[in-house]
Amino acid sequence: MKKLRRWSKGSLYSFILRNFIVIILIVVGLYQGQNVLCDKVIHYVMIHRYGPRIWEQEEWPNEAYLLIVRVTNLFMLLFLILFVLIILYSSLRMRKRLVDPIRNLDYAIEHFASKADEGQIETFPEVGIREIDHIRNSFTHMVQRLKESEDESRRLEQDRQKMLADISHDLKTPITVIQGYSQALYDGIVDAKTQKKYLQTMVYKSEMLAELVNSFYEFSKLEHPQFSLNLEKGDVCEYFREYLAVKYEELETAGFELIAELPEEQVPCEFDHAQLKRVFENMIANSLKHNSSGTMLFANMTVKDEDVILRLGDDGVGIPDSIRAKIFEPFVVGDEARTSGNGTGLGMAISRRIIEEHGGTITLLPKGSYRMTTCYEIRLRYAGKASV
């Protein structure tokens, strides 16, 4: 597409009016100038042909009148030629300023669908006329929004297909084991000791299935448009402290150490008690599941400006670098082959959705933050200094 010259800003009305005034002034000036010049030429020709005393004669020869008419007609013809040239120049200038940008816009709109499918979005520079530039900017913005929407739709479709594939894989693995073991038990081809081992495996795999189905149900429920939180104003610090106190015995039994740094004062916040507990459970469950005894868990809460900041982490094995950037996406697990059966990969996706419904954020901090290999940071809205 031909690149257009940039002009100073102005409205379409002012552009047309300005050009019209310029044309009128040029035509008037040209007309006045040609009259003066015509008079001088006639004066010169008459003196040259008839002598300087011609102006003192009361009657002129017919040839003198014809000469004046011819000279006048010649100047009128020259004036008309110049007038036409001025109109042509003005028309070309108007076309360059108005018609070409409109044609470019029309071309961009007409070929938008085909170009968008090819991933090529054409734009053209501003032309300096406010109305046309406004249309151009609106069209460009629309194209960008449509492109972003199309990219997002494509990404969501890919995520949906991946999710279905992951669900199918995660369901198929334990079901296959249960089917095989149950068939062996039914056929009576295993001894009593092996039967007990098979039954234990079947119970474990059925628990995995139940966990996967429950996690997928919770995730689907959170994604539903009609889902809403049961927000209540309360002291989130005291709630967090009570949760950790209840969890302390379980952690101690598993051989985990807990260090909590919580403020003594109240921290008012609006939150859904049950859903926030689910977030805490998901993070601590990950620490217990992926680390051995002797691991230290870290819990911290601070208030900064308008945010309540909660941090939960551990100094265990840490999250593999390959999945750190996508840890909050559905069905992300440490085992890329998804053969370990160590979790559904939905826990952190559910946690992010819950925190986002609270109007907050959850992030995975860099390794080494607060001397932890894994540390999550949750930010919720602070509800002010009023007592709760």
Query: Can you give the CATH number for the domain in which 314 is found?
Result: 3.30.565.10
pLDDT of residue 377: 97
Rounded to 5 degrees, what are φ and ψ at 375?
A: -150, 120
Nearest of 277, 290, 2, 257 to residue 127 by alpha carbon: 2
Whether residue 185 is found in the same domain as residue 295: no
For Cα atoms 53, 57, 62, give the angle at the middle one, nearest 5 degrees.
Answer: 105
pLDDT of residue 7: 44
pLDDT of residue 386: 43
CA distances from 141 to 26, 120, 132, 280 (A): 41, 15, 14, 41
Count of the separate structural domains present in the chain:
3
pLDDT of residue 54: 59
Whether residue 98 is found in the same domain as residue 214: no
Residue 210 lies in a domain: yes
SS3 content of the chain, % helix, strand, coil (to 5): 65, 10, 25
Q: What is the DSSP string of 287-307?
A: HHHHS-TTPEEEEEEEEETTE
Pairwise CA distance, residues 373 & 314, whole Å: 6
pLDDT of residue 387: 40
Whether residue 180 is found in the same domain as residue 89: no
Residue 142 lies in a domain: no
Residue 246 lies in a domain: yes
Whether residue 26 is found in the same domain as residue 70: yes
Whether residue 241 is found in the same domain as residue 218: no
Whether residue 321 is found in the same domain as residue 359: yes
Whether residue 181 is found in the same domain as residue 286: no
Indicate yes or no: pTM above 0.85. Answer: no
pLDDT of residue 302: 95
Range of the domain at 218: 159-223
Whether residue 87 is found in the same domain as residue 206: no
For Cα atoms 284, 286, 288, give the angle at the middle one, nearest 5 degrees.
Answer: 70
For the chain (388 residues), the mean pLDDT of every run of 10, in chain order, is 46 61 62 61 61 58 60 69 76 71 72 58 61 75 82 79 75 86 88 88 87 81 83 94 92 92 93 93 90 94 93 93 88 58 74 94 94 95 66
pLDDT of residue 5: 44
Contact 269, 236 (CB under 8 A): yes
Whether residue 112 is found in the same domain as residue 182: no
Distance, CA of 173 to chain centre? 38
Pairwise CA distance, residues 379 & 365, whole Å: 13
Longest CA pairwise span in the chain (Å): 149
pLDDT of residue 231: 93
pLDDT of residue 126: 62
